Amino acid sequence: MRKPMIACGTGFRLPIALAGSDFIMVQYLSRFLYRGEATVAMIKAVVFDFDGTILDTETVAYEAVNGVFRERGHELPLDKWTGAIGTLGGFDGCSELSACTGQSVEREWFDARFGELYAGMVHQVPLLPGIRDALEEAKRLGLAVGLATSSYRAWIEPHLDRLDLHRYFDVIHTADDVERVKPDPALYRLAVRSLGVEPGEAVAIEDSLHGLRAAKGAGLYGIVVPNAMTAGLDFSEADLVVPTLDGQKLEMLVARWNE
C-alpha cells in the first residue's frame, strides 16, 4: 500500500517530520513539481464531505455533548467521541452518561439539553480554512464537484444557504439518499455515478476514518484533512494527508494522479 504523504504548500514533499503534530509522518520528495501550466487530465471530479471537512461542526457537537456531561459532573473522553465521527448512530451519549453516573438519564432530557447547547453554537460556525478557495479552484479547473455526507439534507441545507455554497456543487447526496451511510461506500458510489465519472477519476476530501473508508471502498482516491477532533487518528489508509486546505493548491494536490 502506498504510504500517505503530507503536502507542505510548495511543490516539494521533503523528508521532514512535522514536530508537534498528532499525525507526524515523514514527507517524501514528490515525483513531480508543481508547474503553473499544469492542467487536470485524469482526475475529473472532487467530492467533499460536509461535517468536519467544510464546517467544523464535529468540535461543536463534542463541546455540546460534553457540556451535558459536565452538568452532571462528568467529562466525556475524546476517544469515546472520535470513533463515531463520520457516521450516524455511532455514539449513544445518553447511555454513556447513564453509565458514568450510575443512574438512569432520561433520554428526552438529554436530547433536548444537547440540542439547546448545540444550536447555540453551530449556526455561527464559519467555513474551515481554505474550503472556499478549494471550491473556487475546482470550478476554475473544470472539475465536477460533489457533496457526500452522512448527515440528512434538512441539516445541511441551512448551512449551504447561510454560507452561499449551493452554487459550487453539481450534485449533493445525503443520508436521505442511501440505506447505509459511511463507512458504507454507497454515498460515494452514488456521487460519482451522478457526476458521470468513474471512481478512479475522482478524489474525496474527508476528515474521518469512516468517510475515508467509504471513499476508498467506492474506488475513489482519498485526501484527508484532519480537524481538531480527528487529528489523532491513524489515516495510513489515505492516499494523501494535509493538515489544512488553507494555502494549498487543489491542482497540486491532485497532480500526483494526473501524470
Q: Which residues partner with 137 through β-bridges?
A: none
Residue 49 annotated in active site? yes
Question: Helix, strand, or coil here: 51?
Answer: strand
Question: What is the radius of gyration, based on Cα positions, of the chain?
Answer: 19
DSSP H or E run through 94: helix 93-101
Between CA 214 and CA 186 the distance in angstroms is 8
CA-based end-to-end distance of the chain: 19
**Residue pair 42/257 in contact by the 8 Å Cβ criterion:** yes
The question of whether 176 is a catalytic residue gets the answer: no
Q: What is the distance between the alpha carbons of residues 155 and 60, in angstroms, rounded to a whole number?
A: 14
Annotated active-site residue in 49, 56, 207, 239: 49
* Inter-CA distances, 119 with 40, 150, 161, 180, Å: 40, 19, 17, 26
Residue 51's φ and ψ, nearest 5 degrees, are -65, 120
Going by C-alpha positions, the residue among 154, 124, 139, 146 that lies closest to residue 192 is 146
CA–CA distance, 88 with 86 (Å, rounded to integer): 7
- Annotated catalytic residue within 22, 51, 56, 79: 51
From the centroid of its chain, how far is CA 167?
A: 20
Catalytic residue annotation: 49, 51
